[in-house]
């Protein structure tokens, strides 16, 4: 099958099909607090179906706030930083102590304003959501932390992210929150924020980003993503990167945290999910496109990883 983005990182990003919305552009004066609900409730509030995944983002244009989830210690997000929450966990944004944080639903309904002059430091926020297709086996999604924070300005910032943040802020500031330009900027903003995280902290521990940076394992993953239908094995992938099978298998597991063939199967089934949802190809054709010679073995592997049969996945509209 044709691979429009042979680079694994670009291909995984494209597979997400990112869209987004700006939901909040406001200045709040401390003390204030906003409680963001979990992803399932956000989807309901935004009228999105189960095939979508919602990742809230909070860009600080001035000031600072503290972000707290149930899975990580509180962290301070400061001026020109963006915090993105790929994990879908409920979280609290606050500056100062407030007895009852405001539910995000009240913000959406326009029944709350945090602009109370003279009570404390001000924080200007541009917040919204990135919406991605729910690709259950996309390795990029699995590589992201519950909360990632990256700078959008200064010497440490990804230059493209800095430009995207500035253009998005200008567009929203002139009333274009839902414009075509804002939509395109949100897509670039999400991609470059993830790219910035990858360069800054993504290789600190085992996982997909570290694997892509490894000269041997990264090249093997690139080969697989370019030609997913080839009859790959530990031996053939090891030969492609000039390592013995035993050394390659050990190195792959060390940097990714999984075995070679489990990664191969996962990427193939991720592609199969997309083909089942977006095309009318028959099961035999899809099986062949992702490296399986017969429908029975393909269906067995698909159900083991996705939790339902290929026909069940297609009938449910791509949800498991």
What does the pLDDT look like over 281-298, one tens digit per residue?
999 999 999 999 999 999
Q: Binning pLDDT at 50, 70 and 90, where does residue 68 land?
A: very high
Q: Are strands 122-133 and 52-62 parallel, antiparallel or unpaired?
A: antiparallel
Residue 2 has a pLDDT of: 45
Buried b (16+ CB within 10 A) or exposed e, 294-307: ebeebbebbbebbe
Does the pLDDT of residue 6 top 70, yes or no? no
| CA 136 to chain CA centroid, nearest Å | 11
Delineate the domains of the chain, giving CATH numbers in brackets: 8-201 (2.60.120), 210-315 (1.10.10.60)
Count of CB atoms within 10 A of residue 109's CB?
Answer: 10
Does the pLDDT of residue 1 top 50, yes or no? no
Contacting residues for 75 by C-beta, under 8 A, at least 6 apart = 66, 67, 83, 147, 149
Does the pLDDT of residue 16 top 60, yes or no? yes
Kindly report which listed range (129-138, 187-196, 302-311) carries the lowest average pLDDT score: 129-138
pTM: 0.89
What are the C-alpha distances in Å from 138 to residues 18, 149, 156? 13, 21, 28
């Amino acid at each position: 099958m044709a691979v429009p983005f042979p680079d694994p990182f670009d291909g995984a990003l494209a597979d997400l099909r990112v869209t987004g919305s700006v939901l909040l552009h406001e200045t709040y004066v401390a003390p204030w607090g906003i409680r963001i609900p979990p992803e399932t409730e956000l989807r309901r509030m935004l009228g999105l179906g189960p095939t979508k995944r919602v990742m809230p983002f909070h860009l600080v244009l001035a000031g600072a706030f503290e972000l707290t989830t149930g899975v990580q210690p509180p962290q301070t997000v400061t001026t020109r930083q963006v915090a993105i929450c790929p994990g879908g966990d409920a979280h609290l944004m606050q500056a100062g102590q407030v007895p009852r944080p405001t539910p995000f639903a009240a913000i959406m309904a326009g029944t709350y304003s945090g602009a109370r002059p003279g009570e404390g430091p001000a924080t200007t926020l541009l917040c919204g959501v990135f919406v991605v297709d729910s690709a259950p086996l996309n390795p990029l999604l699995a590589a992201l932390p519950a909360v990632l924070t990256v700078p959008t300005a200064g010497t440490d910032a990804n230059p493209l992210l800095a430009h995207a943040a500035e253009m998005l802020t200008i567009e929203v500031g002139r009333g274009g929150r839902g414009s075509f330009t804002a939509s395109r900027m949100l897509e670039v903003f999400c991609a470059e924020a993830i790219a910035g995280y990858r360069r800054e902290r993504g290789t600190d521990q085992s996982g997909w980003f570290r694997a892509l940076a490894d000269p041997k394992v990264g090249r093997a993953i690139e080969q697989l993503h370019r030609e997913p239908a080839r009859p790959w094995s530990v031996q053939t992938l090891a030969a492609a990167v000039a390592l013995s099978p035993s050394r390659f298998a050990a190195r792959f597991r060390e940097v990714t945290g999984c075995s070679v063939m489990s990664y191969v199967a996962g990427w193939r089934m991720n592609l199969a999910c997309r083909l089942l949802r977006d095309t009318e190809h028959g099961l035999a054709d899809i099986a062949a496109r992702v490296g399986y010679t017969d429908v029975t073995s393909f269906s067995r592997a698909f159900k083991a990883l996705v939790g339902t049969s290929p026909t069940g996945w297609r009938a449910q509209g791509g949800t498991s």
